Amino acid sequence: MYNILIISNLVLWVLLLGLSVLVFALTRQIGVLYERVAPAGALMMNQTLEVGADAPHVPVQDLNSGKTITAGQPAKGRSQLLFFMSPDCPVCKSLLPSLRSAQSAESSWMDVIFASDGELALHQNYIHQNGLEDAQYVSSKNLGVRYGVAKLPFAVLIDEQGIIASHGLVNSREHIESLFESKELGIPSIQDYFNAAPGTSNSNAA
C-alpha cells in the first residue's frame, strides 16, 4: 500500500511538471499566433528616404496625357502614391490589379503614379497590354535615383503636405495597404506598431 502511494505521488509529480511545461508552451503558442495574425507591412529598406521628411520634387512627363507632373508634390489636399515598377518584373505585374483596386477605393484622397524607366516603346506596349491608359505613368531614371529605389516593386506614399508618410518594398496587396495604415496611424510602419515596446519604437518595415 505504501509503495503504491509513493509511485502514485511520483507519477503525479511527473504529470504536474509536464502540465506546467504544456501550459507555458500553449500560452507561448497563443502569443506566436497573435504575432502571425497581425498584418504584415512593406519592408522598409530604403536608405535615402526618411518617413517624416519632405519628398523630393521631380518633374516628370506622364506618358498617357503628355503633361508634366511633379512626383513628390501631390495636388492640393490629396496624397500621392509613387509605385516604382518595371515591365519585366513579374511581381510588379501581379500587383497591378491590387493597385488599380486601391486607386479606385482611395480615389477620394490619393493619386497613383506608376513610375518606371527604360525604353519608351516597351512602356507604351506595357500600358496597352495592362489597360493602364487612364493612369498616370511616367518613365524617369532620375525619379528612381532621387528616391533611392534599389529593388522593385517599391512604393512611396506622400501625404497632403508633400511629406513622406510611408514607403517600402511591396510584394502583396497587404503590403500596399500597410502603407495606408501607417499613414492613418501616424507611425512609420505597421511593424513599429506591433513590435514597439510601450514607450519605445524602432523602424524596420512600413
Partner 1 sequence: MILSFISAVAVLSLSYVFVDSALHKFSAPQHFRAALENYRVVPEGLLRPLGQSLPLLEITLGIALLIPAAREFALPGMVFLLSAYTAGMLINIQRGRVDIDCGCNGPARSEGISLWLVGRNVGLVMMAGWVGYFSTLLPTSLGTWSLALASTVVFIFFYHSLTQLRTNNKLQQKVHNHV
Give the shortest CB-114-to-partner 1 separation in angstroms.
29
3-state DSSP assignment of residue 54: strand
Q: Under the rule (CB under 8 A), what is the footprint of partner 1?
A: 13, 16-17, 20-21, 23-24, 27-28, 30-31, 34-35, 37-39, 181, 190, 193-194, 197-200
Give the shortest CB-163-to-partner 1 separation in angstroms.
23
Bridge partners, 58 (sequence order)? 71
For residue 7, how many C-alpha atoms fall within 13 Å in the half-sphere facing its CB? 4
CA 144 to chain centre: 18
Give the shortest CB-20-to-partner 1 separation in angstroms.
4
- Which CB atom, from 42 or from 85, has the smaller least distance to partner 1? 42
- Which CB atom, from 4 or from 197, has the smaller least distance to partner 1? 197
- Which CB atom, from 147 or from 193, has the smaller least distance to partner 1? 193
Report the alpha-carbon distance of residue 127 to residue 129 in Å, rounded.
6
Give the shortest CB-42-to-partner 1 separation in angstroms.
16
Is the separation of the CB atoms in 72 and 57 below 8 Å? yes
- Which CB atom, from 62 or from 174, has the smaller least distance to partner 1? 174
Give the shortest CB-104-to-partner 1 separation in angstroms.
23
Alpha-helical runs (H) found in 38-167: 90-105, 120-129, 141-146
Between the alpha carbon of residue 130 and those of residues 46, 87, 93, 124, 139, the distances in Å are 28, 10, 8, 10, 16
- Which CB atom, from 38 or from 145, has the smaller least distance to partner 1? 38
What would the grid cell of residue 198 be?
510601450
Report the alpha-carbon distance of residue 81 to residue 72 in Å, rounded.
9
- Which CB atom, from 13 or from 109, has the smaller least distance to partner 1? 13
Give the shortest CB-199-to-partner 1 separation in angstroms.
4
